[in-house]
Amino acid sequence: MTSLSARRIGGVLLLGFCLLKLGAVNNALQGNRGALQAAHVLGSSTVPGWSPDQPASSLDQPQGAGFPATGGPLQRVPDLLAIVLAWQGTPDQVAAAWPEAGSSAADRDGVTQLALAQAYFARGFEEEGCLMLRLAGAWRWAYHQGFSRLGAEERREALLWFERAMAVDTELSEEKADLYRYTCRLRARFGDDEGALAACQALMQVAAAGNGAYTEMGNLYVSAGEYEAAREVLLSGLADGDDSLRHDVLLGQAYQGLGEVEAAQTWYERALTFNRHDAFAHLHLGLLLVDLGRPQEAIPHLEEAAQATEPYYASYRERAQRTLSKIR
């Protein structure tokens, strides 16, 4: 047998071994949707590698079925084995199969580490999942996941992803302003007042003028019943460019809490200049007029609030309806 023939046979055998190994990985992936999605991304030459500058939405939108004919699946078999183990084994087994997972320079594009993070989070390995996000530099991707869930009214899940984004990159920056804003609101909604204050303080430090930071802080003070502090920070916000319907309603609540009802009415009415049909402003103005013993003036405002159809106004609508049934 010539040396050329031997080399050809050796090459064929090596190729056959690689194809068998790849087939075994692909079969293992078939039973797991999350791992299979990541495999589609890793194996495709048509899906661009994820960049820290944009959400890795491709992980949620697998391209086609199985591996494409071209691309780099053979050179990424260790990556795929690591993903399979992340879904079916332990983080220690992943580290043994893919030692580079613990290095920030391990992956060319971060996709493997994102896939590992998804598997870890789904299986309850929170610390390991956050580590993978940190190594991939993926706070923006985590924020994108939270924002998507917020839009679907999955608030607790949204907060969980926002918390992960906060943990992945703790450095304060203006580009994280919306992350701090939504984290503040959701922490406050679920009773974490201290955490909400910390997120709001971060927002205050980085937000540009007129970006709503004073509004968020004022909301925390109003919710806590600290009306003097609320009034002070909200008035300071007006000087800094924070002026919106929500800002004015909060000022009305602060003045009402301080017993200055005429000023409160003025701010509620001013809020309606931004949107004359807003249920939030109409409800507070109507409730104030009821408290002042002017129910007939309150009825049109309460009726407006009672007709709100937006899902996030449901509580305002119900309160307006209850109040109307009492005063009519």
Q: Write out the residue range of the structural domain in which residue 133 sits.
A: 22-44+75-137
Could you read off the pLDDT of 118-150 as tens digits, one per residue?
999 999 999 999 999 998 889 999 999 999 999
What tokens were used for 306?
A: 């009672």
- Decide if 123 is inside a domain: yes
Residue 15 included in any domain: no
Q: How far is 21 from 67, CA to CA, in rounded Å?
A: 13
Encode pLDDT of 270-301 as tens digits.
Answer: 999 999 999 999 999 999 999 999 999 999 99
Given 121, 137, 153, which residue is the final one in a domain?
137
Q: What is the count of structural domains for the chain?
A: 2
User: Is 289 among the domain residues?
Assistant: yes
| DSSP 8-class letter at 123 | T
Final residue before a domain boundary, out of 106, 137, 168: 137
Q: Indicate whether 154 belongs to any domain.
A: no
Whether the pLDDT of residue 13 is over 80: the answer is no
Q: Which residues contact 227 (CB under 8 A, 6 or more apart)?
A: 221, 253, 254, 255, 257, 258
Contact indicator for 132, 117 with CB cutoff of 8 Å: yes
Residue of 265, 253, 259 lying closest to 224 (CA atoms): 253
Residue that is last in its domain, among 85, 111, 137? 137
Domain assignment present for 128: yes
CB 189 within 8 A of CB 197: no
Predicted confidence (pLDDT) at residue 189 exceeds the cutoff of 50? yes
Backbone angles phi, psi at 226, to 5 degrees: -95, 75
List pLDDT tens digits, range 226-246.
Answer: 999 999 999 999 999 999 999
- Residue 215 is assigned to a structural domain of this protein: no
Evaluate whether residue 4 is within a structural domain: no
**Cα(279)–Cα(233) distance, integer angstroms:** 24
- Residue 61 in any domain: the answer is no
CB burial of residue 311 (10 Å; 0-12, 13-18, 19+): exposed
Q: Tokens standing for 61? A: 């939108």
